[in-house]
Amino acid sequence: MVVPSFSCRNLLMSGKNVSRLGLYLVFCVLFIFSFDLAFGSEKRPAPKETLLGIKELFVLVNIGLSRSGPTQTKLQDLVEQKVSSLGLVVHSKDEYEEESLIPSLHINVAIIKGENNFHTFFVTIKLYQIVSLEQEGKVSNPSAVTWEVASMGVGGIESIQEKVEDLSEVFLMDYRAVN
């Protein structure tokens, strides 16, 4: 898909509002990405069966822009509470680093700060598990994404937290469906 460039060129040539040009370019990229999401490239959850038998998790929340946004700790606690409600053991970072076989749930939030507390954001949740990989007669056990969901949105800080909660619920429902 090609986005018309006349508006970008006019903004650039006018020399005014360079920050608006940057915001416009980011919007163009996100528009193209959202177009792909709407027409078949949406990150949908992997088969629920990949969640079968999981008894413990490490939860990691990463926020691309922390000031004036939801804090990492607040979202971390929120997701950990939801995961614990399933009866799963939630491990600390230290426990996770000691035991490399623990599956990990990564929540990434990329935020493009807007004006008046109105942001564009992209949330992904990925479950990493240890898998067996055989190549040329050698077996290795790297971690791989075995379940994933993603979504983008526009709104205030509350919208970002709601999106994280909504996507966490998708994980919880899929987990419940197979366990």
Question: Would the pTM of this model clear 0.75, i.e. be above it?
Answer: no
CB 143 within 8 A of CB 130: yes
The H or E element containing residue 107 is: strand 104-112
- For residues 100-105, give the mean pLDDT: 90
- Is residue 117 very low, low, confident or very high in pLDDT (cuts 50, 70, 90)? confident
Residue-wise pLDDT for 65-82, tens only, equals 645 455 788 889 999 999
58-62, 128-132, 135-139: range with highest mean pLDDT: 58-62
Higher pLDDT, 135 or 104: 104
Q: What percentage of the chain reaches a pLDDT higher than 70?
A: 71
In sequence order, the 6+-apart residues with CB closer than 8 A to the CB of 10 are none
Higher pLDDT, 146 or 68: 146
Question: What is the structure's pLDDT at 14?
Answer: 47
In sequence order, the 6+-apart residues with CB closer than 8 A to the CB of 152 are 30, 33, 34, 37, 120, 121, 122, 123
| Tokens 């898909």 sit on residue | 1
Q: How far apart are CA 12 and CA 28, in angstroms?
A: 15
Residue 44, pLDDT > 60, answer no
Q: Of 165, 175, 50, whose CA–CA distance to 107 is shortest?
A: 165
- Average pLDDT over the chain reads 77
Question: What is the structure's pLDDT at 73?
Answer: 85
Q: Of 24, 34, 33, 22, whose CA–CA distance to 4 is shortest?
A: 24
